[in-house]
Structure 1
Amino acid sequence: MNTKYIDLIDQTYDFPQNEFSLDGSQLNFHDVNLMDLVEKYGAPLKFTYLPKISENIQRSKTWFKTAMEKHNYKGKYNYSYCTKSSHFKHVLEKALENDIHIETSSAFDIDIVERLKKDGKITNDTFVLCNGFKRAQYVTNIARLINNGHLNCLPIIDNYDEVELLSEEIQGDFNIGIRIASEEEPKFEFYTSRLGIGYKNIVPFYEEQIKTNERVNLKMLHFFINTGIKDNAYYWNELLKCLKVYVKLKKICPSLDSLNIGGGFPIKNSLTFDYDYEYMVDEIINQIGLACAEAEVPVPHIFTEFGSFTVGESGGAIYEVLHQKQQNDREKWNMINSSFITTLPDTWAINKRFIMLAVNRWHDEYERVLLGGLTCDSDDYYNSEQNLNAIYLPKFKKEKPLYIGFFHTGAYQETIGGFGGLQHCLIPTPKHILIDRDADGEIISTVFAEQQTSEHLLSILGYKPLEVDSSEEAEVPIHQLSKF
């Protein structure tokens, strides 16, 4: 009888997979032995596997290059990373190593751009696409960037007032884009996105506010679907509506030469994940080419803004199962040594599922469990793995520690969870590890941030520190390089 955890995974999924393999009874993630991380750094911990960022960027570039060559598409492809997915310096710098562009969403993003420019990570050839509703400080920062010579900064107009506001602060000519307010899926509580300008209003808006403004050049039409790029009738219908607007606008606006099809490539959230990226890219390029040929207008340069796709699959979290509580005849609660609400907030806020696997003890017998976090909040739990109606893990044994991992968690979780700030029930932010490879392919791990201390949390709350004994050992510094 197959009762071991490895038997369960083998009969449920195709295993091993590209990023997951076994080393005896221990799980590897991109050939990184996760128990080595636990033994060196402890748990709970968060980690970022930086090479995955470059890998996904290069995959996308290859798909678009192949599709454009196949369809004799004359435009260029520009990969952009939307910073809101993860603003961390190590993420931006790794992404920018791949000759990409970036998309911003708020005023402080521009401060990050300026620091990256100072460090030589961004140049004036880098497109900076400024999305979002633009309050005064955002407008001022955009204007400062353009006035200082970054002419490839493109504010994407979100409402009718922004052209005038930008014109007041930007010196000389400048380029802009317009965001389409796409219609949402029928299941949404509203019909049209709050972001951008409606399909029917874009051409009149151009003729009234942009065509008559000699300082402003319209370069880009921005199309974004909240639910992402999916092979369904809704997506293709919205794309065709966008293309109708593009060709109509192109005929009266010679400066328009770029189409931003937004973000939305999905990431792997289950071991059964199946998405044909190459087909979707090929068909998107095909549809754009057909629409432009029929209207007898040149094809646009293509921009994408991939956030989760860029960074999501690089992230992971490891927890230890502290204790098991038998609450009734059927429910066993495995209590982790952290909180789902604070460290993986999307599991709580939008019921998002990540890939969850045991990190060790794969050759032990398994059992059905629920997972609970440390806070006193009834919503701090995780109760089902994708494609299964329950969680199955190696049986809890006090004498044999069990560690579990959540994978592809690299997008949004730190910023939504309030990295470096207060956490629900004052559960500290875990230690964060960066993993990279040197020129020889050897794994290098870096402590990006230690686990929060009570002193740090209490100082945020306004409490004065107690007197510290000078004989106590100094805190271990962060950013220590080590190999394992």
Structure 2
Amino acid sequence: MNTKYIDLINQTFDFPQEEFKIDSNKNLHFHDIDTMKLAEEFGTPLKFTYLPKISQNIQNAKSMFERAMKKHKFKAKYHYCYCTKSSHFKHVLDEALKNDIHIETSSAFDIDIVENLKREGSITDKTFVLCNGFKREEYISKIQNLINNGHKNCIPIIDNYEEIGLLTEGVKKKINIGIRIASEEEPKFEFYTSRLGIGYKNIVDFYRREVKENNKVNLKMLHFFINTGIKDNAYYWNELSKCMKVYISLKRICPSLDSLNIGGGFPIKNSLGFNYDYEYMVDEIICQIKDACEDAEVQVPHIFTEFGSYTVGESGGAIYKVLYQKKQNDRERWNMINSSFITTLPDSWAINKRFILLPLNRWNDVYERVLLGGLTCDSDDYYNSEQHINAIYLPAYKEEKPLYLGFFNTGAYQESIGGYGGLQHCLIPQPKHVIISKNNEGKLEYKVFKEKQTASDFLKILGYE
């Protein structure tokens, strides 16, 4: 009878997988990382970032677009942009920028990061800086300074009717701009049209009224963003088709328009059963853009993509120890972890986001169905089947045999949404954070980026010290 946890995984999924395997001691390895060794050396709870995965995903995307463009004889360039809002950490930007990429910003302080990277030489005036978001005084002022100081490839993406006037008041030269399309949201959304950008039907009139005769701006780019990301469904392809109609209408009256910026991003792996054909999606996007342009007899655009979660999400992980099991009734067993989901994985309780959950050890033990609880006194601090796609099964709890858990592909948004380094719910501390890289010989190197928060850290913020 197959009652061991490893049997359950082998029966349910195709395992081992590219990034997950089990060693001879039945402990989990994530890429080249012995996760149990990591937990034993640095303790738990623990956050980690595996930097090589960032470069791997960037290079994969660049290769896929290169192949698709070559296949379809798509005579334009491809530019990979990283959305800094996914993770602003310097170690993330440093790793991403090794791969000849560009940057998308969303707020004023992003520009300070850009200036810092320029001073270090990580980016140059040739690096595209696409400035998205709703812009007001501070953000606009910093964009103006960036452009006035010679950053010719800074392209503000116009979000509303006032921004052109605000941007051009303080610039000394003609600037390139983009316009963001306010796409229609999926039918299940509570509203019909995105609050960001300008509506499909209004863009051409807006161009004629505000841009065409304006000697201070040059329309360079159309920005197409779908909130739910790039998915193979009727909704996405319909929105892309509508976007291309707008692009073609603008291109016919605006020769300077030569770029299409595709936002929304690829999904990342959220379970061992994840199935997404990246190669097909890239090929189909390029094919549909090419066909639309050929039918309309206009030049195909340069393609920009904005990938945030896809860039950094699969590089992150969180490790916990099961402290205790509470049996609240005949059916529910609560495994209590030594941290809080609200503190460390806020998307899991805020939007029921799924992450890959696997035990680090005891894969040869029998399994049981459980719920996971965090340390706060908040009833929402849990992780259950709603987030996990199916019921949660883990090696059976044994007080004398500690169980360690890993949540994987958590590298996007969790630190910034959780208020990294600041106050945490019920004052449950932010865990230690370790950066994992490879040296020139391909060996793993570990560096503690941040120690676990202390009581003193909290008391200073709260005004007690």
Shorter-chain TM band: over 0.9
Q: Which moved more, 1:388-397 or 1:355-364?
A: 388-397
**Could you tell me whether the CA contact under 8 Å between 2:159 and 2:180 is conserved in 1?**
yes
> Matches of 2:164 and 2:341 in 1, distance apart?
43
Structure 2 CA distance, aligned partners of 1:384 and 1:57?
Answer: 32
Q: Which residue of structure 2 aligns with residue 471 of structure 1? A: none
Q: Structure 1's 430 and 14: CA in aligned 2 closer, same or farther, altered over 3 A?
A: same
- Any conservation in 2 of the 1:385–1:391 contact (CA below 8 Å)? no
Residue 365 of structure 1 is matched in structure 2 by 366
Give the Cα separation in 1 of the matches to 2:56 and 2:354: 23
Deviations 1:250-298 (A, max 9, x none): 0110110000011320000010101011111111101111111111111
CA contact 1:325–1:334 (8 Å) conserved in 2: yes
Q: Which moved more, 1:275-284 or 1:381-390?
A: 381-390
Q: Which amino acid aligns with 1:139?
A: I
Residues 269 and 386 in structure 1, CA contact (< 8 A), matched pair in contact too? no
Q: Is the 8 A contact 1:435 1:446 kept in 2?
A: yes
- SS of alignment partner, residue 234 of structure 1: helix
The equivalent residue for 1:166 is: 167
Cα deviation, 1:403-445, whole Å, max 9, x if unaligned, reads: 0000000000000000000000000000000001111110001
Q: Which runs of 5+ in 1 are unaligned?
A: 465-484
Contact 2:290 2:300 in 1 (8 A): yes
Counterpart Cα distance in 2 of 1:390 and 1:193: 34
- Could you list the per-position Cα deviations for residues 435-462 of structure 1 after superposition, in whole angstroms to 9, with x for gaps in the alignment? 0111111000110000000001110000
User: Corresponding residue for 1:343?
Assistant: 344
Shift of 1:384: 1.7
Deviation track 1:192-216 (CA, whole Å, cap 9, x = no partner) reads 0000000011011111111111121
Q: Which amino acid aligns with 1:374?
A: L
**C-alpha separation in 1, matches of 2:252 and 2:391:** 56
Q: CA deviation at 1:386?
A: 6.4
Secondary structure at 1:169 match in 2 = coil
Per-residue CA distance 1:285-341 (angstroms, 9 max, x = gap): 011111111111110000000000000000000000000111111111100000001
Hey, what's the Cα distance between the residues in 2 that align with 1:66 and 1:99? 18
State the partner residue of 1:329. 330
> In 1, Cα distance between the equivalents of 2:170 and 2:193?
31
Q: What is residue 289 of structure 2 aligned with on the other side?
A: 288
Distance between the aligned counterparts of 1:325 and 1:83, measured in 2?
Answer: 41
1:183 paired residue number: 184
Amino acid at match of 2:61: S
Give the secondary-structure state (helix, strand or coil) at the position aligned to 1:318. strand
The runs of at least 4 aligned residues of structure 1 exceeding 6 Å deviation read none
Q: C-alpha displacement at 1:388, in angstroms?
A: 5.2
Structure 2-normalised TM-score? 0.99
Match of 1:195 in 2: 196
- Residue 3 (1) aligns with residue 3 (2): yes
Q: For residue 355 of structure 1, what is the aligned residue in structure 2?
A: 356
- Return the alpha-carbon distance in structure 1 between the equivalents of residues 436 and 455 of structure 2: 27
Q: Deviations over 1:118-154 (max 9, x none)?
A: 0110111100000000011000000010011001000
With over 3 angstroms needed to count, the CA separation of the structure-2 counterparts of 1:188 and 1:388, relative to structure 1, is closer
| Deviation of 1:172 (Å) | 1.1
Q: Does 1:21 align with 2:13?
A: no
Find the counterpart in structure 1 of residue 225 from structure 2: 224
| Matches for 1:45-444 after TM superposition, within 5 Å | 45-384=46-385, 389-444=390-445
Q: How large is the RMSD of aligned CA atoms in angstroms?
A: 0.8
Q: Is the 8 A contact 1:269 1:408 kept in 2?
A: yes
Q: Residues 387, 456 of structure 1: CA spacing in aligned structure 2 closer, same or farther, 3 A cutoff?
A: closer
Q: Tell me, what secondary structure is at the counterpart of 2:208?
A: helix
Amino acid at match of 1:38: A
| Deviation at residue 389 of structure 1 after TM alignment | 3.2
Aligned-partner Cα distance in 1 for 2:47–2:389: 25
Partner SS, residue 156 of structure 1: strand
Paired residues in the alignment total: 464
**TM-score of the aligned structures, taking structure 1 as reference length:** 0.95
**Partners of 2:362 and 2:280 in 1: CA distance:** 39
Distance 2:332 2:264 in 1: 40
